[in-house]
A and B are shown apart, each in its own frame.
Chain A
Amino acid sequence: EAGVVQSPRYKIIEKKQPVAFWCNPISGHNTLYWYRQNLGQGPELLIRYENEEAVDDSQLPKDRFSAERLKGVDSTLKIQPAELGDSAVYLCASSLDIQREGSFFGPGTRLTVL
């Protein structure tokens, strides 16, 4: 069974440029998460989807970040415009029953903003 797929794996952009990340969750997983992980820190939740509905986006900086999950499967996370402080690893995760098996993470996208 394929795991959570993310692309690209690495992205280097200049500040003020836009950037987008893509995630394909594990088949059948209704819950999808986007996390941001800064160096030396644990993942921090940006947004959580149940199917196509964003049920928790309280930590998403809405002035520059946006996300969508059309048809309740794949998801994209966009930053426009990017700032230096956005450099981090962006992780996507999905789950069927987080209480029994936790969530499954993708390999992440490492973003560097110059």
Chain B
Amino acid sequence: QSALTQPASVSGSPGQSITISCTGTSSDVGGYKYVSWYQQHPGKAPKLMIYEVSNRPSGVPDRFSGSKSGNTASLTISGLQAEDEADYYCSSYTSSIFVVFGGGTKLTVL
């Protein structure tokens, strides 16, 4: 099972918006609504930020939003803040009832 494809890095200035893409296939991202996004700060466990493509768990700021088009899911962070600097991972349910993660994207807040 190949990992989902994410850009290695993205950057933005405080207050700006950035988007991280996550590309898979019709057997994973494109075929199901079960796409999630996780934020990971150095030395910490990942934190769920988005589930089922566009839903935010309680406590996650509405600056974080998710969407999907075809085989590509996206995480958008608006009003970028210094504390958003972290690694971000997408994941998807697959047709083989497995779970696949993206390779991760390092977000730098300039």
Do A and B make up one complex? no
B: which residues have CB within 8 A of A?
A: none
